Amino acid sequence: MSSPDLNLLVALDVLLSEGSVARAAERLRLSPSAMSRTLARLRETTGDPLLVRAGRGLVPTPRALERRQRVGSIVKDAEAVLRPDKALDLARLDRTFTLRTNESFVEEFAPRLVSRIEADAPHVRLRFAPKLNKDVMSLRDAAVDLEIGVAGETGPEVRIQALFRDRFIGAVRAGHPLSEGAMTAERYAAGRHINVSRRGRERGPIDEALNQLGLQRTVVCMVSGFSATLAMARASDLIASVPERHTEGARAGMHSFPLPVMTPEVTISMLWHPRLDADPAQRWLRDCVREVCVSSR
């Protein structure tokens, strides 16, 4: 059995409302003959005359009267589904958004983001989920609304928009020997270092850059996050190498310096699933994140 032409519902609703082929044709911007053919199709599809002549006019059959209200409701519901969303009412928006990112982004940007969100939408809540890996399945299965970090291989199912670029710098406690005098690659490499790696890797881009100069640094411990490495460097003579913008607040009171070797900058992006492209609340959330990141430059 073939599927019915749902466009006939609109025609049926207008015919039952007007009770006239001519008036229905005018309302639908059709010719009277085209409207008559549509009525014939409706009769064939429903197996009922629907409208029958009485004097000079048409009157609905009992079946048409029985279905008139139902048809009208169906057409209104369909129009509502296809109509663009109403303007987003942020004052009444009551939702929880989940953002997956690392702890450094939370520490540096979350306070300003929460303040920005509260200014427009006091009933919105943010949930910051830990970024344990680069798997994008959580975006696909709707467990995460927005992911923020260095984008890996994502494929066409994920949207990506760059937020800002960051570079690695060195940080030591106040009064550390490296806080005075010119910084050279030799002085930097000669110190005792903390390495940050979620996967426990001892070497990275900094070591590769030093190696090109014939130098090698001594890594005495490894941690999984930048907060931990800064806490350790603040309380010892160890050297932390951290992203500049991610750790601006966390480095307060410490001595920071540009690395004496060239290392690649990293691009921090936000990622989301295409199904959230048109959602007004999701667009507003992405605008807020972008605004906070730009204003912190």
pLDDT beyond 60 at 129: yes
Higher pLDDT, residue 136 or 79: 79
What is the rounded distance in angstroms from the CA atom of residue 44 to the CA atom of residue 37?
A: 11
Q: What is the mean pLDDT of residues 53-68?
A: 84
Q: What percent of the chain has pLDDT over 90?
A: 54
Residue 116's pLDDT is: 95
Indicate the pLDDT class of residue 133, thresholds 50, 70 and 90.
low
Is the distance from CB of 268 to CB of 149 less than 8 angstroms?
yes
Residue 193's pLDDT is: 96
Which SS3 state, helix, strand or coil, does residue 196 take? strand
Q: What percent of the chain has pLDDT over 70?
A: 91
Residue 6's pLDDT is: 79
Q: What is the mean pLDDT of residues 144-172?
A: 85
Which domains does the chain show, CATH number per domain? 7-82 (1.10.10.10), 96-166+267-295 (3.40.190.10), 168-264 (3.40.190.10)
Q: What is the mean pLDDT of the chain?
A: 88
pLDDT tens-digit map of 201-239: 778 899 999 999 999 999 999 998 899 999 999 999 999
Residue 183's pLDDT is: 94
pLDDT tens-digit map of 257-286: 999 999 999 999 999 988 888 889 999 999
**Token code pair at residue 276:** 């959230």
**50 contact partners, CB below 8 Å, separation of at least 6:** 12, 15, 16, 39, 42, 43, 60, 61, 63, 64
Tell whether pTM > 0.75: no
Residue 190's pLDDT is: 96
Residue 59's pLDDT is: 86
Residue 297's pLDDT is: 59
Residue 84's pLDDT is: 66
pLDDT tens-digit map of 65-94: 888 878 888 887 777 677 666 678 999 999
Instruction: Find the range with the poorest average confidence among 1-15, 97-111, 231-245.
Output: 1-15
pLDDT beyond 70 at 154: no
Q: Which residues of 49-63 are buried (b: 16+ CB within 10 A; e: fewer)?
A: ebbeeeeeebebeee
Is the distance from CB of 264 to CB of 205 less than 8 angstroms?
yes
Q: Cβ-count burial of 226 within 10 angstroms (0-12 exposed, 13-18 middle, 19+ buried)?
A: buried
How far are the Cα atoms of 163, 178, 183 from residue 244, in angstroms, in the given order?
Answer: 15, 18, 17
Residue 82's pLDDT is: 73
What secondary structure, in 3-state letters, does 87-134 show?
Answer: CCCCCCCCCEEEEEECHHHHHHHHHHHHHHHHHHCCCCEEEEEECCCC
pLDDT tens-digit map of 11-37: 888 888 888 888 888 988 899 899 899
Which SS3 state, helix, strand or coil, does residue 52 take? strand
Q: What is the mean pLDDT of residues 26-53?
A: 89
Q: What is the mean pLDDT of residues 38-62?
A: 86
